[in-house]
Amino acid sequence: MRGYTHFQTRCFSYLFLAGTILLSMGIAGCGSQKPAQTEQPQQQQGPKRYQLAGRVVSVDAAKQQLVIDHGDIPGFMMAMTMPYSVKSTDQLTSLSPEDQITADVVVNGDDVHLENIVVVKKAANPAKAPASKSSQPASSKPPNL
């Protein structure tokens, strides 16, 4: 009887080990994703567009870039201040810091840029150059010679 029990224990151990290995392989296989297949539908759908509303912080025509302080962009990102590129410098000519704008954020893979930029409110006081010395009031003391 003792030999039979030893045989049963050994068979049970082998079956348990084989079952554990198969279960581990099954779980590992279910968790893997195929990135190449998940990216293809995104590219086939074409660019996605999101509506942006915000304030122009700065304009850099040389880099074809705007820095925008914007609110939440539903389905894309939370509110933040960040740079956005534009495809043409013509879109930048009418923009000044502090302008309130709306625009389309166009996302096509890694390419993110703004289109259809509309100024909804021009800046009240566009940035002015610092006052020169000649425009400052004269002091009551004579200059030291």
* Closest residue by Cα to residue 127 from 98, 91, 85: 98
Q: What structural domains and CATH numbers belong to the chain?
A: 46-121 (2.40.50.320)
CA distances from 123 to 66, 70, 74 (A): 15, 16, 26
CA distance 36 to 52: 30
The residue assigned the tokens 């554990």 is 20
Instruction: Specify the pTM.
Output: 0.57
pLDDT in tens, 56-110: 999 999 999 999 999 999 999 999 999 999 998 888 988 999 999 999 999 998 9
Residue 10 has pLDDT above 90, yes or no: no
